[in-house]
Amino acid sequence: MPHDPVPASPRVVVLAGGLSHERDVSLRSGRRVAEALRSAGVDVSVHDVDADLVPALVETRPDLVWPLLHGASGEDGSVRDVLELLDVPSLGTGPRASRVAWSKPIAKTTVTRAGLATPEFVTLPQSLFRELGAGRVMDAVVAKLGLPLVVKPSRGGSALGVTLVRTAEELPGAMVACFAYGDTALIERAVEGVEVAVGVVDLDGSPVALPAVEVVTDGPYDYDARYNPGRTEYFAPARLPDDLAARAAETAVAAHQVLGLRHLSRTDLIIDADGQPWFLEVNVAPGMTETSLFPQGAEAGGHHLPTLYRRLVEAGLSGR
């Protein structure tokens, strides 16, 4: 079906906030994107996810909604389901593909079937530890996967509840930290190598990778390291040979396509000493703060952020 022409000054509602553990990050992302869009001639308002949202959308009927919500409800597809119910166009991945990407075990299984490499893992609910005995289950995990391990909630972002486990004695504490943010843990074999994040933009139906951003920290790349300047050093573009940079880009684009993502995404990878990119997870609503990886990759690729964000809005409005 033909789409209406894109208005000269489209009316866009940026959704930011919500009630997840990542609320503060979402608010910062929303403010920065709104400022960039305004400078590009877009009529922008920022709205929280609260009891006033549905009436406001019904009354104002914006041209487009850009969900910049991180964590539960923002990335699990549920808010996007509501937008579809209201027949309000939104930027980004649709609700069904969002649900697949939001679940790290399902996303990892999906990309593996498409031939991408991902670290071996198990997914265990907290209830299983109580029923079978935590000690026995953890012994089995270490015997099967070895050490070091990474423990993380099976859903969620911003590295909340994520721990690098180098000894068996560290595993119980890592499980406690993980279960503070979700009732199911993903435990995967830790891969040593260069940690990179690769953004993908899909402006005309053909996804294109942004330059990889390399992440170097003074410890684990946890929540504090991600959002408080000083603890982490970024290299954009990543310090990779051309062939490895190309492999990282191909992996991110393949994940974007296999998972059915749209408009923008960010894939997190580890590139090992043999040059193999390992898929860790994908984000359908990447952070857009001053230290976030997606905008760093965009700028490294020569994009002017206000122009890029407006082009993403136009892609959403045109139905591409």
pLDDT in tens, 162-219: 889 999 999 999 999 999 888 999 999 999 999 999 999 998 889 999 999 999 986 6
Residue of 20, 98, 158, 292 marked catalytic: 158
Q: Is 231 a catalytic residue?
A: no
Mean model confidence pLDDT for the chain: 91
Average pLDDT (246-271) is 97
The CA-CA-CA angle for residues 215, 196, 295, to 5°, reads: 80
Q: Is 290 a catalytic residue?
A: no
Q: Is 228 a catalytic residue?
A: no
* Helix, strand, or coil (residue 230): coil
* Helix, strand, or coil (residue 309): helix
Q: Is 234 a catalytic residue?
A: no
Average pLDDT (137-160) is 87
Q: Is 266 a catalytic residue?
A: yes
Cα(46)–Cα(68) distance, integer angstroms:
10
pLDDT tens across 222-237, in order? 666 666 667 789 999 9
What pLDDT score was predicted for residue 245?
98
* Helix, strand, or coil (residue 141): helix
What pLDDT score was predicted for residue 2?
45
Average pLDDT (17-39) is 91
Q: Is 283 a catalytic residue?
A: yes
Q: Is 158 a catalytic residue?
A: yes
Q: Is the dihedral of CA 176, 180, 182, 187 positive or negative?
A: negative
Residue of 287, 297, 309, 316 marked catalytic: 287
